Amino acid sequence: MTLSYAIVTPARDEADNLRRLADCVRSQTRLPTVWVVVDSGSRDDTAAVVVALAREYPWIRLGRTPGVRRAAPGAPVVRAFHSGVSELDPLPDVIVKLDADVSLDHDFFERLLAEFALDPQLGIAGGGCLELVDGEWRQTRVTGDHVRGACRAYRRACFEAVLPLVESMGWDGVDELQARARGWTTRIVPNLDFRHHRRVGERDGAWHRRWRAQGAGAYAMGYRPLYLLLRTLHRARQNPAAVAMIGGYIAAAMRHAPRMEDAEARALLRNEQRLRNLPARARELLGR
C-alpha cells in the first residue's frame, strides 16, 4: 500500500536551518505531496527563503501564524502546526511535524512510511534523535515509546482522534497518551535516526526557564509527584538546573493550572508511573 504524506514545519527565524532542511527534503526518495513552512513572526529571511523555494518546487508553500511575537515553549509551535495542517486539503495518509533545525537521510520518509504500511495500528512514529555532544552525534534517551516532537509523524485517523493538540509544554506527551488510550501504538523506528542541530531547550533562553516549563508541563499532564522527583534527580546529574522542574511543578499546582482532561490518558500515565514500573523506565533512559 502506497501512503501519501505531507510536512508542516513551524519556523521562527530559521532561514539558515531551512536551507539545510530543504536540501534534505527535496532529496527524499519519497517526496511529500506538500510541505508547508509556517512563519511565526520571523525577523530574518525565513519567509524569503520559503518563497524562493516555492518558485522552484510547487509542492512547497509558505504559511503564516498571525499574532506570534516571541518564542515560548509549546504554545506558538503547536499553534503554527495547527495553522499549517489547516492548509492541507485533503489531509494525506500521514501528517509530519518537522522542525527546521533537523536534518535527515535521503530515504528517511520512505522508511517511515513503510512502518505505517506494515502496522495499521501505528498512530505516531518517528526516528531516534541524534544530538552533537563533544563532537559526536549521540542518541538521546527517552522513556517508553516517546516520539520526539521535532520530527514525528501521525496517521491521519490517529491525528484526528487527538485533536486539538494542547498549546503548552508537554503537548507531544499528551497526544501520545491520548493516542494510546484510544488503541493506537506509538514507536521510534529502529535504526532510523534524524540529527537535531539545536539541542532541546537551547532556544528557550535560560536553562532554568526550560526546566521550570517542563515541570509545569508535567503537572498539566498529571505526573505523580514521586515520579517527577525521581526524574528531576536523574536529570540533575547531567544538568543541575533541572531541579527547577520541581519549582515549575509546585508553581503550577499552587495556581491550579489546567490539567489534562482526558481521564483515560491520565489514568494510563499514572499507571506507567507506579513504583513497580520505575525500573523499566530507568532502563529505557539508560538505553538498556
Q: What is the CATH number of the domain that holds 52?
A: 3.90.550.10
Same domain for 115 and 166: yes
Same domain for 134 and 241: no
Q: Residue 154 domain-assigned?
A: yes
d(CA 49, CA 52) in angstroms, rounded, equals 5
Last residue of a domain, one of 196, 223, 241: 196
**Structural domain containing residue 218:** 206-285
d(CA 61, CA 71) in angstroms, rounded, equals 22
| pLDDT recorded at residue 230 | 85
Q: Residue 201 domain-assigned?
A: no
Same domain for 36 and 93: yes
Same domain for 279 and 171: no
Local structure of 148: helix, strand or coil: coil
Residue 151's CB is within 10 A of a number of other CB atoms, namely 25
Q: Residue 262 domain-assigned?
A: yes
Same domain for 117 and 36: yes
- Vertex 212, ends 211 and 217: CA angle to 5°? 95
Domains in the chain, number? 2
Burial of 191 (0-12, 13-18, 19+ CB in 10 A): exposed
Report the predicted TM-score, pTM, of the whole model to 2 decimal places. 0.83
Q: Residue 241 domain-assigned?
A: yes
Burial of 259 (0-12, 13-18, 19+ CB in 10 A): middle
Same domain for 183 and 108: yes
* Secondary structure element (H or E) that encloses residue 36, with its range: strand 35-39
Same domain for 177 and 90: yes
Tell which residue, 214, 148, 154, has the closest CA to residue 178.
154
Last residue of a domain, one of 196, 218, 248: 196
Q: Residue 171 domain-assigned?
A: yes
Same domain for 218 and 151: no
Same domain for 263 and 162: no
Same domain for 182 and 215: no
Same domain for 161 and 86: yes
Pairing status of strand 122-133 against strand 136-139: antiparallel
Q: Residue 82 domain-assigned?
A: yes
| pLDDT recorded at residue 71 | 46
Last residue of a domain, one of 170, 196, 222: 196
Ordered per-residue pLDDT tens for the chain, 288 residues: 789 999 999 999 999 999 999 999 999 999 999 999 999 889 999 999 999 999 999 999 999 876 554 544 556 889 999 999 999 999 999 999 999 999 999 999 999 999 999 999 999 999 999 998 888 999 887 766 789 999 999 999 999 999 999 887 778 888 999 999 999 999 999 999 999 997 655 554 556 777 888 888 888 888 888 888 888 888 888 788 889 889 999 998 899 887 777 778 777 777 777 766 566 655 555 555
Same domain for 277 and 247: yes
